[in-house]
Each structure stands twice: as C-alpha cells, then as structure tokens.
Amino acid sequence: MIDHPGDTEDGARVDTVRTAETMFDIVEHLDNENGASLATLAGELNYAKSTVHRHLQTLEALGYVVHRDGGYHVGLRFLEIGVTARSKYRGYDLVRQKVEEIAEMTGERAQFFVEEHGKIVYLARAIGDQAVQTDPGIGSRIPLYAASAGKAILAEFPEPELSDMLERMSFDPVTEHTITDPDVLRAEIDEGRDRGYYFNREESLRGTHAVGVAICGPDGDVIGGLSVTGPSHRLNGERLESELPDLLLGAANELELNIAHS
C-alpha cells in the first residue's frame, strides 16, 4: 500500500478546493442567519472583509446570493437547483402523489425519504387533516437509525455495505429512546426483514410513533422509504402494528410496479 500524503487518520478530506469551502462557509452562514452584512460575515467567519466582499460579488453575479434590504441573503437559485435535483429521483412524482393519498386515507402525516450521505432526507410530506403540504422540513435530515423509514432503507442494503455503515455510524441520541447501540439496530433490522416494515417509537420525537417501509427498484436497489407518523396515543396497538403496515406495504408494492414500468 502506497502512502497517501495528507491523509487524515479517519481517511477523509484530501486535496480539497479551499476556495469552494470558504465560499460555502459564507453561503451556509447566510443560510443560518437571515440577512447579514459584509462586516458581520467577515468577523464571524474570520476572513478579511475584502475576501468576503469578492465572494459575495461573485455569488451575487451568479445568482446565488441577493442583496436585499441592507443585508446579504441566500438566493433562490439554490431552490431552483434543489428542486430539479429532487425531481430527478426515480419515481418522485408517483411517490409524491402516493404520499398525499396515504395522508388523506390515514389522516396522519405521510412522508417520503431518500438516503444521502448516511442520513435520510425528506423529499415529500403531506398531512391528512387538510391535505396541506407542509414544506418546512423538506430537505432536512434525520439519522438513519432514528427513523422507521431509515431502518427500512438500511435493511435493504446488501450485506457488505450494511456492516460497513453500521460500523462507521456514530449514534447521537435525539430522544431518550433513540437507538444508541449498533447491535440493537442490527437486531431490529433482522427482525423486520421478513415482515418488511419497521417501527419508530418515540426515537426521534417524544410522543410520536411511526411505521416505515422501503421502496425498491426493479433490481432490488433501494429508492427510498415511506412512512406514516403520528401521536403515540393514536398510533399504537392493531393500528400501528398491522393496519398501517399493511397499507404501507400495499402502497410500496404498487409504487414499485409503477416505477418499474415507467
């Protein structure tokens, strides 16, 4: 094995484009605050004002930043790109409709996730009561081990990768019920594999239960996960353990067929 100069011991981050990093530093900082001035940015990020200025100029010229009422903001170019990125996920349109259908049928919240960088990301969500699509949350991330759909997705990974992921996974508890032990997670995955559905009992949010299933492509590859969430007093017993799972398995099956033939 040849030595890799500059390798960090965890084996990541070699030879990166620094300028790109500083650029996203700025963007991400803008994303957190809302509306920051050049001086503030330079101060908090420890870059020279002139440096930040040049970056902001560039970002604004490219449409990624706007200078609205006395402060710099993240531009909607990110939304534009993000939306087309989402739309390219296989079966996204079909799944979105199904999510709304499920929400309406159950009266609970239904959602669709895909895996990215070891987390699951919300791609669609609908609430039953009024079929209002709640956008806040779209794009945000949850660790795989803290979501029913996450477990379902995880279970579909072929064996070598699965072990790998479990090993390199760091378990940061979200609630007092979040799984923190890889063996427990592994056990749950193995237990659910022939059933095909997975639970989440207050592991990501107190007082909230969920059931999730995976959606797979024709070659057995994972596309994403579908789940129904609701208050634990409403999602329990028969409803949680058989009624909703059946519904989800049916939906997944139908989706998988439709996606395969599209």
Partner DNA sequence: TATAAGTATTCGAATGAGTCGAACGAATGT
Partner DNA sequence: ACATTCGTTCGACTCATTCGAATACTTATA
How many degrees, rounded to 5, is the angle at CA 88 between CA 87 and CA 89?
95
Residues in 99-158 at the binding interface with its own copies, rule: CB under 8 A? 100, 114, 116-117, 121, 123, 131-133, 135-136, 138-141
| Residue number, 39 or 79, with CB nearest to DNA | 39
Quickly list H helices, 64-202: 77-87, 92-106, 148-156, 159-167, 182-192
Considering CB distances under 5 to 8 angstroms, the limit depending on partner class, which of its own copies, DNA, none binds residue 121? its own copies
Site string for its own copies, 59-88 (x = CB under 8 A): x-xxxx-x--x---xxxxxxxxxxxxxxxx
Considering CB distances under 5 to 8 angstroms, the limit depending on partner class, which of its own copies, DNA, none binds residue 9? none
Convert 167-180 to b/e letters by CB count within 10 Å (16 or more is b).
Answer: eebeeeebeeebbe
Residues in 191-230 at the binding interface with its own copies, rule: CB under 8 A? 221
CA–chain centroid gap for 185, Å, is 19
Between the alpha carbon of residue 30 and those of residues 13, 41, 51, 63, 174, the distances in Å are: 24, 8, 16, 14, 26
Considering CB distances under 5 to 8 angstroms, the limit depending on partner class, which of DNA, its own copies, none binds residue 127? none
Q: Tally Cβ neighbours within 10 Å of residue 163.
A: 12
Considering CB distances under 5 to 8 angstroms, the limit depending on partner class, which of DNA, its own copies, none binds residue 38? DNA
| Residue number, 41 or 213, with CB nearest to DNA | 41
Cα–Cα distance, 191 to 171 (Å, whole number): 20
Binding residue for its own copies, selected from 6, 12, 46, 183, defined by CB under 8 A: 12
Cα–Cα distance, 242 to 211 (Å, whole number): 10
Q: What are phi and psi of 217, to 5 degrees?
A: -85, 175
Residues in contact with DNA by CB under 7 A are 2-5, 14-20, 22, 37-40, 46-51, 53-57, 67, 70-72
CB 99 → its own copies: shortest distance, Å? 11
Q: Which helix (H) or strand (E) holds 19?
A: helix 18-32
Considering CB distances under 5 to 8 angstroms, the limit depending on partner class, which of its own copies, DNA, none binds residue 94? none
Interface residue list for its own copies (CB under 8 A) = 12-17, 19-21, 23-24, 27-28, 31, 34, 54-55, 57-59, 61-64, 66, 69, 73-88, 93, 96-97, 100, 114, 116-117, 121, 123, 131-133, 135-136, 138-141, 221
